[in-house]
Amino acid sequence: MNDSLNKIYRVDDLFNVEDLQIINESIKSIYEKHQYDIELGRLKLELNNLPMSIERKIEAVAESFEGKVFKTGSITYVEYSNKYGQPNLPTHFDGDQNNMVFDYQLESNTSWDLGINTELYQLKDNSCVIFNANENVHWRPNKDFKDGEYIKMIFFRIYDVDNRPNYLYLDYPIDDPIFKEINNLRDSMGKK
Ligand SMILES: [Fe+2]
């Protein structure tokens, strides 16, 4: 086991004004390619047109924390809103081939904490929580989004270039007993 697996980092003010302009323009230019995750209440867009400078910035932040060389695996933009179904993020592992995810909040007009294991983490615009989404279960509290409420996120997923992990076996169904304890905690919180 690697020491860093369960470390959880927060970074505020991740991007500067120029970066944010580039990111917003990149989203806009391919927005028509979006799809929907109806059961999660979100619109989804593979953000594969960001310049390398943005990817490098993310990789460098992770490298400064972990002392390893990282490469970007995927970048996904999502918008949670009741326009796309009722937003819901049940307890899960990502089950992919990445070491860390930057759960980055781009813009919002409501709040919705991120649960990692048994703890809640508050997100703010232009801030992120960075963690291993395969070694740590994660979820969001139950919440009824009101009409007009939205949260725009970007998930930057990165992997160790010298030792890319394989967590595909963690792709458990959401009703698997492995999630029972955390789901009980989640349900005991009621609606946020
Ligand atoms: Fe996830």
CB-based contacts of 47, cutoff 8 Å, min separation 6: 26, 27, 30, 75, 76, 77, 154
Whose tokens are 């932040």? That residue is 61
Distance 11 CA to ligand 1 centre (A): 18
Residue 2 clears pLDDT 80, i.e. is over it:
no
Q: What is the pTM of this model?
A: 0.96
pLDDT of residue 192: 80
Distance 115 CA to ligand 1 centre (A): 10
| Model confidence band, residue 4 (pLDDT cutoffs 50, 70, 90) | low
pLDDT of residue 1: 44
Q: How far is CA 180 from the centre of its chain?
A: 22
Distance 166 CA to ligand 1 centre (A): 15
Distance CA 26, CA 31 (A): 8
| Model confidence band, residue 191 (pLDDT cutoffs 50, 70, 90) | confident
Distance CA 91, CA 170 (A): 12
Distance 158 CA to ligand 1 centre (A): 13
CB-based contacts of 126, cutoff 8 Å, min separation 6: 12, 13, 14, 15, 20, 105, 106
pLDDT, tens digit, 9 for 90 and up, residues 115-167: 999 999 999 999 999 999 999 999 999 999 999 999 999 999 999 999 999 99
Distance 64 CA to ligand 1 centre (A): 23
pLDDT, tens digit, 9 for 90 and up, residues 138-150: 999 999 999 999 9
